[in-house]
Structure 1
Amino acid sequence: MFGVTLADIGRGLGWFAGINSLFIAAAMSFVLVVIFGKTREIGRHAIENTSASIVLYVINIAIGLTFSHEIFGFARKVYALLGIPSLPEDFWAGTPVVLTFVLVIVVKDFCDYVIHRLMHTTWGWPSHAAHHSDTHVNAFSAFRVHYLEIVLMQVNYLLLLSWLQLPHLYPALVTLVLAHNMYVHMDLPYTHGRLKYLIASPVFHRWHHADVPEAHGKNLANIMPIYDLIFGTYYVPRPCDAPMGALKGGIEDKNPLAILVYPFQQWARLLRAAVGKPARRIEPGE
């Protein structure tokens, strides 16, 4: 039923995944410097933030190589025990692959929107804060994700595609998501014009990372901004000139270890507050 193994994932991502994807991000930054004249991409602040993103990415790869088999094996067992009815195995017989892939994108992005919205709540935010900690958002920011969030999203993809009887599309889906994710984090002036509600643009996503109150919890769709339009979270007032990151919320931007432990510190703080004990303030970088 589940139908996807770690080997499938590895083959599907191919040369685009793993450490190799860092070279793609580096090429994107090179384009920003050479073609768009954004020399701050090679400034000290950018290098320090990018280095932190790379360290987090390497740590996530190491954790994944160590624990992914157990995590996804457990997810498969839980999914089987739940006995969730799936579509018939021959449901998509004769349907063009392109059409089924588009359907998967539409359904997947709705699920991502819901999960992303939950991540911007009090209890969901700590695991998602790592991604918002970057104060110099660029292609490398796509790799700045806490491993807890990675597990949640990947299990969601596997469950969704297994229910749809389309697990064979998982590798292509992950590759597309990764490519688009790097693109929307680039400091580019593109809004996608008439397609702005169908395909997320760099301007759209940059507002999502803006460290200003009016942008918090906005632009939550990963690929299709139409979900934000429908549910009232669309926010693109102008080209984004706001500061990036989450320093105002006390989240370190250049210390990978502080970023990794932040969720556990914050949840401990929330639990102490929930049981009525005074919560010690967590200082940035602590």
Structure 2
Amino acid sequence: MEKWILLGMGPVFIACIAIEAWYWRERRPEIYSWVDTLSNAGLALMHQGADAVAWVLVIGIYYLIYQHRVFDLPTSAWTIAGLFLAQDFFYYFFHRASHRIRWMWASHVTHHSSEQLNFSTAFRQSLTYPISGMWLFWLPLAWLGFEPKNIVAVVAINLGFQFFVHTQAIGKLGWVEYVFNTPSHHRVHHARNPKYIDRNYAGVLIVWDKLFGSFVEEDPAVPCDYGIIGQIQSHNPIRLTFHEWIAMFGDAARAHGMRGAIAQLFGPPERALSHPGRPPSVIHR
């Protein structure tokens, strides 16, 4: 269901990309380039294929857990609203973990690897998310009593919303900034400036960042510098997908003992080893 919801929104996404590219054509033409946009599109197709296979494989686990649910929650406007709120809450922790656990960062780094931010950047996803464990974060929703097909639909809606915060064309949005994730908040998230790194993990609601201390407001005096520290100079979707996995396993192999290897795989990304032949910590630090 997730795939069909996002595919159904596809024409809207493509129209927004076309309008935004036209808007920037004379103003700031460097925001869009054919090579970057085509790379984003290739990564999106790879991600969608892997995601479709992953849901086929794991949906049974959701229904198994659903059989042992705590509550019998009927499908209604109220329960869907509750599911939306709960899924966004768990999304915050998934996203935060994707920056703080290297195994998960190995997937998420692909999304952050563009030095531009535009609507097409939202398509820049990794096919390895199922391996890094994204689907695990929604399992508690099935245990609480939300039907798995509704969970999948709400995840898709959440991700669809996030497409619209990947832009530099929209400024601050007044009172909306206090409650919702906005382009301003998400520009901060994609920036590699020291002030902005590992901030604003929101999916739809920014209130989780404010509640858990990860919120930073966009500062006009500190323009966002997009990309990752140790920027990978490539538009090859295969390299963009696997470069950090390769580096991570290499670091684990060179680490001292089992504890050191586990630290490389599951510790914070900034613990990556430096060694000849690779820039120190090709990560978002």
Please report the TM-score for the alignment, with normalisation by the length of structure 1.
0.77
Distance 1:59 1:102 in 2: 31
Q: Does 1:68 align with 2:68?
A: no
Choose which of 5, 8, 14 in structure 2 pairs with 1:15.
Answer: 8
Counterpart residue identity of residue 141, structure 1: T
Distance 1:174 1:83 in 2: 17
Counterpart residue identity of residue 159, structure 2: L
Distance 2:139 2:56 in 1: 15
Counterpart residue identity of residue 47, structure 2: N
Choose which of 72, 82, 98 in structure 2 pairs with 1:103.
Answer: 82
Shift of 1:175: 4.0
Identity across the alignment (%): 21
Q: Does 1:261 align with 2:247?
A: no
Q: How does 1:112-151 map to 2 (within 5 A)?
A: 112-123=91-102, 124-149=104-129
Give RMSD over aligned pairs: 3.2
Q: Does 1:204 align with 2:192?
A: no
Q: How does 1:1-286 map to 2 (within 5 A)?
A: 8-13=1-6, 15-16=8-9, 21=10, 23-34=11-22, 36-37=23-24, 39=26, 43=30, 46-64=33-51, 67-68=53-54, 71-72=57-58, 76-77=60-61, 80=64, 85-89=68-72, 91-92=73-74, 96-97=76-77, 99-123=78-102, 124-149=104-129, 152-157=133-138, 160-161=141-142, 163-170=144-151, 172-239=153-220, 241-246=223-228, 248-252=229-233, 254-275=235-256, 279-282=275-278
Farther off after superposition, 127-136 or 167-176: 167-176
**What's the counterpart of residue 3 of structure 1?**
none
In structure 2, the CA distance between the partners of 1:263 and 1:71, relative to structure 1 (3 Å rule), is farther
Shift of 1:169: 2.3
CA offsets, 1:167-215, max 9 Å, x none? Answer: 3423542442233111000223333322213210001001100121221
CA offsets, 1:245-265, max 9 Å, x none? Answer: 11x333345221211112321
Distance 1:253 1:162 in 2: 42
Is the CA contact (8 Å cut-off) linking 2:6 and 2:160 kept in structure 1?
A: no
Is the CA contact (8 Å cut-off) linking 2:66 and 2:148 kept in structure 1?
A: no
CA offsets, 1:17-65, max 9 Å, x none? Answer: xxxx2x433311333245x555467658532211111111122234345
Farther off after superposition, 191-200 or 235-244: 235-244
In structure 2, the CA distance between the partners of 1:63 and 1:117, relative to structure 1 (3 Å rule), is closer
The residue matched to 1:88 in structure 2 has which SS?
Answer: coil
Distance 2:62 2:70 in 1: 18
Please report the TM-score for the alignment, with normalisation by the length of structure 2.
0.77
Is the CA contact (8 Å cut-off) linking 1:138 and 1:182 kept in structure 2?
A: no
Counterpart residue identity of residue 217, structure 2: V
Is the CA contact (8 Å cut-off) linking 2:128 and 2:241 kept in structure 1?
A: no
Is the CA contact (8 Å cut-off) linking 2:185 and 2:218 kept in structure 1?
A: no
Counterpart residue identity of residue 131, structure 1: H
Distance 2:138 2:253 in 1: 33
In structure 2, the CA distance between the partners of 1:169 and 1:149, relative to structure 1 (3 Å rule), is same
Distance 1:105 1:227 in 2: 14
Distance 2:47 2:204 in 1: 23
